[in-house]
Amino acid sequence: MQQCKIGLWLLIGGIVILLAPPLVSAQTAGETGPTQTEEDIQKQAEESKRAQDIFLREQLVLFRQGELQLEFGTLYSQETREQFVLLNNAVTPAKITVSSVNPILTLRYNLIDNLELDVDIPFVAIKRKIDLGVTRIHTDDQGLGDISGALRYQLWYELGARPSVILDLNGKSHTGDIGLLQTGDGTLTGTGHWNVGAGITLVKTVDPVVFYGRVGYTYTLERNDSDPGDEISYRIGMGFSLNDRVSFNMQVLGAYVERLELNGDKIASSSLNIISLQFGVTVLLAKHLFLEPSVNVGLTDDAADVVVGLSVPFQF
C-alpha cells in the first residue's frame, strides 16, 4: 500500500507542475536585447525544436557529438500473472503478484555524429507473493537491478516521403542476480540472464504529429540449464507538441516471449504475450530541464496491470 501511495503522489506531482503557469522570460516585451545574428537565431530554433522533440529521445539520436543527458526516473508497477516456476526440481504452475518501485539512472552520450550510447542503471525495491495451490510464499528484496545499454545509430534523416531510420544494438546484464530463490526462477532484483538484441526504428512527421515504430529481436543466453526464451518486441506510437513547453505522446508496447526451456525441454503454455498502452506528457521546466509523468496500462494478462512513472531528463 505504501508503494502505491508513492506512485500516486508522483503522478499528482507531475499533474500539478503541468498546471503551473508558464515560465516568464527574463526579457520583457518592453526591453530590447542585443542584436542577434542569423547564426544565433538558427541555433535557438534548433534548440527549441530539440526541446519539443525530447519525448523522442528513445527513438531518435537528438544530441550533438559530445553532449550528455542524465535522466532520473522512478517507476511504480503492480502485476498479477500465472506462470510456471521450478520448485524442488519440478515445474509447478503458480500465481505470482509483484509490486515494485524502480528508481533508474539513465545516461545518454553522443559519441560521434549520429551515434549515441545509452546506459540504464536501475535500482529495485520489490515484493512478491507466490501462490502454489494451498501454499503461499512471500519474498522481498532490494538492490541493484540488471544494468542495460544500447548503441543507436541514425542511418538516415527524414527527407520528403522517406522516414528517419535508426538502428540499435542492445544488451542487458544479470547484475541483479544476487542469489537464486527457492522457486529457481532468478532473483527479485534481476532476471538472472544476459540478453543481447538489435532493432530498427522508423520516424515520420506528418505535421504537427510525429509517428514512430520499432521492431526488435532479443536473444536470451541460457544459464543453469534454464532459458526464459527469446523475445520479439515492437513499439508503435505518436506524439505532438501542444505548445513550446508541453508535448504529449502515446504508444503501444508489445513483446512475444518464446516458451521457457528447462534442462533442454520446452515447457508447454509458458510463452508470454505482453501488450500495454502508455501515455506520457513532457514538460519543459527550464532550459535543458524536463519533467515527464507517464502511465502504462496492461492490455493482456502477461503485461503489468499498471505502471506509473516520473522522469526528469537534464541535458548538459
Write the pLDDT tens digit of every residue in 89-111: 666 778 888 899 999 999 999 99
Per-position DSSP letters for the chain, written without gaps between them: -HHHHHHHHHHHHHHHHHTSPPPPPSS-TT---PPPPHHHHHHHHHHHHHHHTGGGTTTS--SPTT-EEEEEEEEEEEEEEEEEEEETTEEEEEEEEEEEEEEEEEEEEEEETTEEEEEEEEEEEEEEEEEETTEEEEEEEEEE---EEEEEEEEE--BTTBPEEEEEEEEE--TT--S--TTSS--SS--SS-EEEEEEEEEEEETTEEEEEEEEEEEEPPBTTEE---EEEEEEEEEEESSSSEEEEEEEEEEEEPPPEETTEEPTT--EEEEEEEEEEEEEEETTEEEEEEEEEE-STTS-SEEEEEEEEEE-
Asked if residue 130 has pLDDT above 80, the reply is yes
In a domain, 57, yes or no: no
pLDDT at 88: 66
In a domain, 210, yes or no: yes
Residue with cell 527469446: 230
In a domain, 50, yes or no: no
pLDDT at 35: 64
d(CA 231, CA 210): 27
Average pLDDT over residues 256-260: 89
In a domain, 32, yes or no: no
Average pLDDT over residues 197-212: 95
In a domain, 34, yes or no: no
Number of domains making up the chain? 1
Q: What is the pLDDT of residues 33-77, one digit of tens each?
A: 456 677 666 666 666 666 678 899 999 998 888 999 999 999 999
Q: What is the pLDDT of residues 115-129, one digit of tens each?
A: 999 999 999 998 888
pLDDT at 87: 66
CATH of the domain at 130: 2.40.160.40
In a domain, 55, yes or no: no
Chain mean pLDDT for the chain? 82
d(CA 290, CA 247): 11
In a domain, 35, yes or no: no
In a domain, 54, yes or no: no
Asked if residue 167 has pLDDT above 90, the reply is yes
Alpha-carbon distances of 4 from 80, 102, 135, 308, rounded to whole Å: 15, 12, 26, 9
Q: Are strands 231-241 and 261-262 parallel, antiparallel or unpaired?
A: unpaired
pLDDT class of 268 with cuts at 50, 70, 90: confident
pTM: 0.77
pLDDT at 102: 93
Say if residues 264 and 225 touch (Cβ distance below 8 Å).
Answer: yes
Asked if residue 240 has pLDDT above 60, the reply is yes
Which structural domain, as residue segments, surrounds residue 245? 2-18+64-315
Asked if residue 239 has pLDDT above 60, the reply is yes
